[in-house]
Amino acid sequence: MSLKKRLAEDRILLAPGVYDALTGLLAEQAGAEAVYLSGASIAYTRFGRPDLGLVSMTEVADTIAVLRDRVAVPIVADADNGFGNALNVQRTVRMFERMGANALQLEDQTLPKRCGHLDGKTLVSPAEMVGKVRAACDARGSDETLIIGRTDAIAVEGLEAALDRGEAYLEAGVDMLFVEAPQSLAEIETIVQRFAGRAPLMANMIEGGRTPAVDAAGLEGLGFRFVIFPGGVVRALAATARDYYGNLVAAGSNEAFRDRMFDFDGLNRVIGTADMLARGRRYDEGAG
């Protein structure tokens, strides 16, 4: 089933955040129907830095490519603010689509952008973002490639301005609307009342972020059709890695940590080593 058809169903789609092929594979093996390639998580894991616009378009594109090579589920890609003006947006759409993305999320922040749950964001004008949305829709090679319009206006201009921007982005042609970082259940309900039924609505759940925590079932009941948990895996892995390295340095061994990690054979089972070696033998010299 295509992402577009799945989102048309009357049930929410949950996309775990991933940042490389291994996390994508693990999410798919856990039963995820789609994954969300988080630009923030790429910054966290590749650079050990915050989400402050440090990740480039080509670095995200390369990650989409290796992720697509490893998983079959739809990939929703964080395209930040398109990495420039409307022409940059078109290049981003073409490249991400070529690499295997099924949807691109575009936001209305200026350069350099920052995480939607950090202070100090600034926005482009509504007219500039409308131009970017139209450029993105024109650039895609398939109508099955979805363009998600995100506004960060709540923190900068207030809820009413965010709603007005949402109207403009829907009119410009976005396939899904994402009003980032509502700060209360009342704001969440206002967003739903305004836009539910007009386009799929997207929610972002960040542990410790600005938005009240609501589980997928609760969001579905409110009227959302898509929810991401973009950086949760990095926060989980970072906590585990801190404990792992602390134990190893203190104890000089992994023995006390063995029940919290795969052994050599266990990891090879997860990544499919035996299957890959068997497939390789089909092409050995003399193989029929």
- Average pLDDT value over all residues in the chain: 96
- State how far the Cα of 39 lies from the Cα of 229, in Å rounded to an integer: 13
> What confidence tens digit (pLDDT) does each residue in 168-224 have?
999 999 999 999 999 999 999 999 999 999 999 999 999 988 899 999 999 999 999
Q: What is the pTM of this model?
A: 0.96
pLDDT in the model for residue 288:
64
Q: Cα separation of 22 and 116, whole Å?
A: 26
What confidence tens digit (pLDDT) does each residue in 255-270 have?
A: 999 999 999 999 999 9
Say if residue 260 is exposed, middle or buried (CB neighbours under 10 Å; 0-12, 13-18, 19+). exposed
pLDDT tens-digit map of 28-60: 999 999 999 999 999 999 999 999 989 999 999
Six token digits for residue 112: 């350099």
Residue 11 pLDDT greater than 80, yes or no? yes
Tell me what the mean pLDDT of segment 124-153 comes to: 98
pLDDT at 45: 97
- For the stretch 151-161, pLDDT in tens is 999 999 999 99
Q: What is the DSSP string of 20-51?
A: SHHHHHHHHHTT-S-EEE-HHHHIIIIIS--S
In this predicted structure, the answer to whether residue 286 has a pLDDT above a threshold of 80 is: no
Question: For residues 159 and 167, is the Cβ–Cβ distance under 8 A?
Answer: no
pLDDT computed for residue 116 by the predictor: 66
